[in-house]
Chain A
């Protein structure tokens, strides 16, 4: 792959993630974007283009949400594009921004992701129901949790994973999130708390799931020459990958996210990574459910298929372990405003690789990290590799 310019992240910002915010979507986008600009001392006039990631209009209840958010996203009278691939959006938005600069078209780009799910009543889940085929699936009266339950159960069955080894991920991430100032659901829980929580659709229980949230995040991207003028410690986007699988989800074996592996291969090849397990210092895979973190670790080839639960159980994925996973606290601990959640992970990579993560700082000298998001009908994998 030939790119015209190397791209770095030079600034980042985010709002608190909350169950319901007073701020409008525009105000949330503004707060994150403003913070990102302030973090690197830039004004809006320094930004040449803006990309915005936001999940369905049906959540905020605003038609053409991309256009609605423009003024809060700093895109007034600028080249602007919206992107959306379900939950994968948060990691896809920086890829989209990366394309703007790597192509040689622009030198700076502001990437913003926003979600305000609390407007949707009685519960945002109702807007999700149309993800099921209206003719062949909705008449059965499915609940969104069913898809996750079916996938989780298949994963557990193929690799003979006991529930405790999955529950431990929820415990870890909510505990990690206690060091994250924006976290919505940071708390100390035990594996037993998870195993005793309400069974929604076995094997999914209440404490396996991340919350719905309102929130926004933003990053500033710059081409190499410009980045070096803005900051002494740019963080390079060295690899990007994205891949989607068929919507016929009942025609695939759900135990393994092949589309995440495909996206990861694309990103690793670009970044020159031959042995991800050895070369990646820490990772932020997407964790809307606890089993998903493990599912995605395997898709990212950070371990063998079926091995992730053992690594989690043995503490290898703790912040001070050999391969820290979700040091931020992930979606399970920080929150899940659909598009902003993935970008929060990118922000985490940025702060970690610059040693600015405070109490969440991964020890040692992390130089290479990977963030991944997932979305739609068990379909999309988006992967970004960043290096200090």
Chain B
């Protein structure tokens, strides 16, 4: 703040002021519902998840194999060339121990979100959860494998993989 300025504008309100009706309010609940289409690449990705497989795409120009798949290589800026069926194993690149859920509810047993680099890709990772492990035992670089839902429970969603669990301990 400049020393020349004496007063700064702004009328702070507290949550109690709102509850006590100290100021007039309009409460609006928009109906913002959406149908998001998967697109070509993710359409196939999700369909293959239902089959129990993780797929990526490869660009022949730079050689990168990426997941989640896209139909173009963003570094070469050209369409990429082929689908690659990947293993369902990978390595933990980073992780967190989360005591909050999506709507900020507190939980005692942490969820373990992680970026898992899928074997066979060019260091490409996906966001997923780690399970069947003590939170204290999770490590950077840990080898993990997908635990799939049984085929009839799969719907073509990233949650067809329940979580990734440590292997080779």
- Name A residues whose Cβ lies closer than 8 Å to a Cβ of B: 12-23, 28, 31-32, 35, 39, 61, 118, 122-123, 125-126, 129, 132-137, 139-143, 145-146, 149-151, 153-154, 157, 180-182, 198-204, 214-215, 246, 248, 250-251, 253-254, 351, 354, 356-358, 360
Tell me, rounded to whole Å, the shortest Cβ–Cβ distance linking B68 to chain A.
Answer: 5
B158 touches A140 (CB 8 A): yes
Chain B residues near A202 (CB-CB < 8 A): 96-99, 110
Most chain B CB within 10 A, of A135, A151, A351, is at A135
A141 touches B94 (CB 8 A): no
B159 touches A139 (CB 8 A): yes
Residues of B85-116 contacting chain A, CB below 8 A: 93-104, 110-111, 113-115
A153 touches B96 (CB 8 A): yes
Using A132-B127, A182-B1 as known contacts, list a sample of 9 further A-B pairs with CB atoms less than 8 Å apart, ordered by residue number in A. Answer: A21-B10, A22-B23, A31-B10, A140-B158, A140-B159, A153-B94, A157-B94, A202-B96, A351-B1
B66 touches A149 (CB 8 A): no
In this assembly, does B119 line the interface, its C-beta being within 8 Å of a C-beta of chain A? no
In this complex, what residue of B is CB-closest to A141? B102
Report how far A354 CA is from B3 CA in the complex, Å. 10
In this complex, what residue of A is CB-closest to B23? A22
30 contacts between A and B (CB under 8 A): A15-B8, A15-B10, A16-B8, A18-B10, A21-B12, A22-B11, A39-B4, A39-B5, A122-B103, A126-B103, A136-B45, A136-B127, A139-B158, A140-B128, A141-B111, A142-B102, A142-B127, A143-B101, A145-B100, A146-B96, A146-B98, A146-B127, A154-B93, A154-B115, A200-B99, A201-B96, A246-B74, A248-B66, A248-B124, A251-B124
Report how far A22 CA is from B11 CA in the complex, Å. 6
A150 touches B1 (CB 8 A): no
In this assembly, does B126 line the interface, its C-beta being within 8 Å of a C-beta of chain A? yes
Known: A150-B96, A180-B1. A143 touches B104 (CB 8 A): yes
Report how far A136 CA is from B45 CA in the complex, Å. 9
Chain B residues near A150 (CB-CB < 8 A): 94-96, 113-115
Residues of B38-68 contacting chain A, CB below 8 A: 38, 42, 45-46, 66, 68
Report how far A118 CA is from B17 CA in the complex, Å. 13
Tell me, rounded to whole Å, the shortest Cβ–Cβ distance linking A156 to chain B.
Answer: 9
Most chain A CB within 10 A, of B23, B70, B94, B140, is at B94
Report how far A150 CA is from B97 CA in the complex, Å. 9
In this assembly, does B2 line the interface, its C-beta being within 8 Å of a C-beta of chain A? yes
Chain A residues near B13 (CB-CB < 8 A): 18, 20-22, 118
B12 touches A129 (CB 8 A): no
Chain A residues near B42 (CB-CB < 8 A): 135-136
Report how far A127 CA is from B1 CA in the complex, Å. 31
In this assembly, does B133 line the interface, its C-beta being within 8 Å of a C-beta of chain A? no
Chain A residues near B111 (CB-CB < 8 A): 141
Report how far A14 CA is from B74 CA in the complex, Å. 39
In this assembly, does B125 line the interface, its C-beta being within 8 Å of a C-beta of chain A? yes
Chain B residues near A31 (CB-CB < 8 A): 9-10
Known: A246-B74, A248-B66, A251-B125. A356 touches B98 (CB 8 A): no
Tell me, rounded to whole Å, the shortest Cβ–Cβ distance linking B10 to chain A.
Answer: 3
In this complex, what residue of B is CB-closest to A23? B11
B28 touches A157 (CB 8 A): no
Chain A residues near B94 (CB-CB < 8 A): 150-151, 153-154, 157, 254
